[in-house]
């Protein structure tokens, strides 16, 4: 993603009248934030009005084309419609505050400088630019306990360890949060309920810096709140993340109609299934649910039913992407916050690396 500071000045046709520069007003007493916004305005050809509006009575100030309000000065009932709430990555509660104020657009600076420059530019209709090129891979368990969530975590973590930009997305709404599986439920960052309260489009430059992270891996999880029936904004969020990351790994949970509806948003789906008769039959049913979505099988665990890859492919109708061997220490690792560490072991690491290498968009 390019930064706003390197955007060229808009071309002007000889003899044509100059377009009126858009005016911007920032409510903030943070010199560093004002300097960042000033640079964005200069790059976008917008005029930052001298002096902030009164944070207590902004209505006294003349209207600007775009109003920006520092999260530390946002006052309920005094934020005009269309205002952009600005803050830094370390500002906690930024998205909650935006929801309380009626669904303000959020810009986390300096990460969202490019998006903000587009918004302020007189020649732009807004938006983050051309479609992203990131690859979205879903992981769908043929049966409960097949290891879909575990495999999703390991794939995203392996990509991050290889210094790819990667994000793990929890699309199993009733799974009580993939952050628990990671042992990171207390880590600050966005959760899906935060995004459900935000109105309007979510842009990559806004979303990416607000995600929770561990090391190089970023993730978006559900939490422990009871599902309220409101639809999750999977489509716009996955599209935004596609623009920000090389690899988006989506934990789809157990095979079912709801998971299949989300799977169509993925470029391809991996289906882990136990090497058992029941596991292979369940994988065949999952393949029917995924009709039209490129999918491959991942036989997992002990081969107690003498199911080799050729038989698995013939039974399920899915080509085999690779396998994950059984490791008795994984359940304990998941309960003690060491799941990612387990996936990096020499034994399991080879399996995960093989699967990651088979992912179509990363070859």
Can you give the pLDDT at residue 51? 61
Q: Between 277-289 and 309-316, two packed helices, what is the crossing angle to 10 degrees?
A: 40
Domain count, the chain: 2
What DSSP letter does each residue of 200-235 carry, written as one string?
SPPPHHHHGGGSEEETTEEEEB--SSPP-SPPP-HH
Name all contacts of 57-60 with Cβ < 8 Å and 24+ positions apart: 58/27
| pLDDT, averaged in runs of 10, over the chain (363 residues) | 36 43 86 89 82 50 79 76 83 78 79 80 39 83 91 96 95 92 91 76 78 93 83 87 93 93 93 94 94 92 86 94 91 92 92 91 56
Can you give the pLDDT at residue 8? 39
Regarding whether 163 and 84 lie in a shared domain, the answer is no
Can you give the pLDDT at residue 162? 93
Q: Is 140 inside any structural domain?
A: yes
* Alpha helices (H) along the chain: 31-44, 94-100, 113-120, 148-161, 178-182, 192-196, 204-207, 234-244, 257-263, 277-289, 309-316, 330-335, 339-343, 346-358
Give the residue numbers spanning the domain of 347.
135-362
Q: Is 128 inside any structural domain?
A: no
- What is the helix (H) or strand (E) element at residue 25, kind and residue range? strand 23-27
Q: Is 321 inside any structural domain?
A: yes
Beta strand ranges found along 74-157 (DSSP E): 84-87, 105-108, 135-141
**Tokens 């390019």 identify what position?**
2
Regarding whether 288 and 343 lie in a shared domain, the answer is yes
Q: Is 234 inside any structural domain?
A: yes
Can you give the pLDDT at residue 150? 96
């Amino acid at each position: 993603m390019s930064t706003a500071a390197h955007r060229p000045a808009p071309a002007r046709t000889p003899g044509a009248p100059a377009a009126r520069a858009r005016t911007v007003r920032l409510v903030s007493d943070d010199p560093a934030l004002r300097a960042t916004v000033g640079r964005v305005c200069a790059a976008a050809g917008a005029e930052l009005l001298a002096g902030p509006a009164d944070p207590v009575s902004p209505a006294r100030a003349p209207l600007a084309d775009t109003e920006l309000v520092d999260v530390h000065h946002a006052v309920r009932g005094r934020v005009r419609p269309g205002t952009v709430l600005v803050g830094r990555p370390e500002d906690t509660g930024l998205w909650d505050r935006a929801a309380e104020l009626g669904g303000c657009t959020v810009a986390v600076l300096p990460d969202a400088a490019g998006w903000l420059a587009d918004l302020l530019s007189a020649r732009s209709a807004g938006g983050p630019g051309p479609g992203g090129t990131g690859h979205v891979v879903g992981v769908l368990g043929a049966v409960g306990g097949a290891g879909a969530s575990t495999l999703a975590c390991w794939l995203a973590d392996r990509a991050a360890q290889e210094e790819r930009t990667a994000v793990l997305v929890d699309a199993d709404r009733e799974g009580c949060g993939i952050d628990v599986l990671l042992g990171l439920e207390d880590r600050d960052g966005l959760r899906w309920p935060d995004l459900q309260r935000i109105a309007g489009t979510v842009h990559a430059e806004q979303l990416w810096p607000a995600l929770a992270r561990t090391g190089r891996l970023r993730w978006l999880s559900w939490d422990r709140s009871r599902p309220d029936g409101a639809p999750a904004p999977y489509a716009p969020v996955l599209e935004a993340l596609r623009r920000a990351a090389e690899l988006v790994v989506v934990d789809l949970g157990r095979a079912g109609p709801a998971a299949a509806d989300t799977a169509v948003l993925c470029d391809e789906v991996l289906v882990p299934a136990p090497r058992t008769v029941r596991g292979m039959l369940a994988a065949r049913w999952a393949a029917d649910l995924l009709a039209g979505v490129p999918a491959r099988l991942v036989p997992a665990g002990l081969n107690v039913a003498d199911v080799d890859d050729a038989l698995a492919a013939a039974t399920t109708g899915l080509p085999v992407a690779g396998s994950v061997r059984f490791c008795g220490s994984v359940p304990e690792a998941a309960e003690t916050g060491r799941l990612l560490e387990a996936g990096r072991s020499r034994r399991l690491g080879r399996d995960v690396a093989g699967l990651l290498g088979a992912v179509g968009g990363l070859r």
